[in-house]
Structure 1
């Protein structure tokens, strides 16, 4: 197995690669490629670099994100929660679909035996309080860091569910699922209210999952045989849960998909 670590912090990325290689005993087990989801040009550059590597792609884990930041914009002028958490992953997934299809079942997409490819998108329980403001996705008229984060996570759920419907309709050998990691002790909380940060420092060991524990649902979604050929699932603690009802609205899924396609410059059709 080979892992491609994608990130915008090259030093940390290479440290992770070194740790994986040391644990596996192989210098071929992990590689680093630069990717800044706050830049659509960087996303396209990463996809070119990945294709040039010649590596197969059996599992794509959409895991990056920002949380409750003061309003800022990406290099392309998108509100950062929308741009990094959603639009960057939207474009990355769309551009990597051919690689995922080509790697499924050993590269023979006509076979219906063996293992398909998987897309795992990291969601959040925050999506339950999210609302899609299709008239002001960028938060220009009114801005709340919490609302922007919740909207971006709801957008990921809407995207994943529509993507799975389109993949299933095409009988693609690729599935799309969502993984909710729970409350995890990470640096994402650096922009939250000071009281939340204080509780995290004092009681994080008791109330929060460790990063390893938080990653487990994503690993489960990526590897469990129980999800072979199964998509459209929202997983929490390795069990299926029900996403927000509004996230299951096909009309809202389509509206967001169409707008994301326009903003990122890709066709609405996944062919």
Structure 2
């Protein structure tokens, strides 16, 4: 029965983190976006930008005169989002959670592959362009969408795909921890080289989106009466990411973890530089990067 322990612990950690977030949101107002400067045609790539928080980020950045590229898995959703945003403007990040054990087309565990590894690869493929686009005083910005669930996350380097013992709760928390380890390590590399690119991670809080569709039936029933009262709306959840992408006071500042518009300390494990380096090397090997 020992093999069940990681699954049980992952379940407990995830829901304890969720309770802490809900208690915070009960007694604290959602971050309200300040007036942000126009971005004058800067380019933003928003993964998962066709719905939920991703859509709100795309829509708001477009109102700031950014050229927004929506990246996602479903072309029809992206086209519909573009049409809707255009209509709104004329009138006036991708992820999964708690899915049963599944693999991506490349054979990666779905949470790890879609939430983390895809973003790791996309960011690295865009790095040269980001470096050339940025300059002192006008850095390119990378904004990583993590989650408070990372506090309960554990990274098992010899079983990143969850083959020995799969837990949807543990896999989701691991993917969010991996995003933080990645963002801190990448920022350190960029600073060493003096590249004009900043990397920050944000936590949207608990937001009422389709991510919760994979909760168990009892959890779904327990969620419904509290969602309207305690959960953030997609627009509220997107506000910290929008602020991080466009606020002038964050120019040149990287390596942060922001929640509700404020700098926050992430888990002690996320700052482990040896773990950051090991994950980076393993991720490069998995996606075929030098």
1:2 matches 2:25: no
C-alpha displacement at 1:200, in angstroms?
Answer: 2.9
Separation of aligned partners in 1, 2:228 and 2:252? 37
Q: Could you tell me the TM-score, scaled by structure 2's length?
A: 0.75
Equivalent residue number for residue 48 of structure 1: none
Alignment match, 1:90: 120
CA distance in 2, matches of 1:6, 1:200: 30
Determine whether 1:104 maps to 2:112. no
Is 1:67 matched with 2:97? yes
Higher helix share: 2
Cα deviations by residue, 1:110-150 (Å, 9 ceiling, x for unpaired): xx23x110000000000000000111111101011000000
Aligned counterpart in structure 2 of residue 120 of structure 1, from 143, 156, 161: 143
Alignment partner for residue 157 of structure 2, among 116, 128, 134?
Answer: 134
How far residue 11 of structure 1 moved from its aligned partner, in angstroms, is 2.0
Separation in 1, partners of 2:180, 2:217: 29
Specify every segment of 5 or more residues in structure 1 that has no aligned partner in the other structure, as ranges. 27-62, 106-111
Quote the offset at 1:72 in angstroms: 0.7
> How far apart, in 1, do the equivalents of 2:161 and 2:243 lie?
33
Q: Residues 177-235 of structure 1: CA distance to partner in whole angstroms, max 9, x if unpaired?
A: 00100000001111112222123333311111010110001001101111100000000
TM-score between both structures, scaled by the size of structure 1: 0.80
Q: Tell me which of 152, 174, 180 is aligned to 1:157.
A: 180
Distance 2:186 2:104 in 1: 24
**Runs (4+) off by over 3 Å:** none
Q: Quote how far apart the aligned CAs of 1:14 are.
A: 1.3
In terms of mean alpha carbon deviation, does 165-174 or 201-210 score higher? Answer: 201-210
Cα distance in 2, alignment partners of residues 200 and 99 from structure 1: 43
Q: 1:19 aligns with which of 75, 79, 84?
A: 84
Equivalent residues of 1:134, 1:256 under 8 A apart: yes
Deviates more, 1:81-90 or 1:188-197: 188-197
* Partner residue in 1 for 2:12: none
- For the 8 Å contact 1:185–1:200, the answer to whether it is kept is no
Rounded to whole Å, the distance in 2 between the matches of 1:195 and 1:178 is 32
Question: 1:188 aligned to 2:211?
Answer: yes
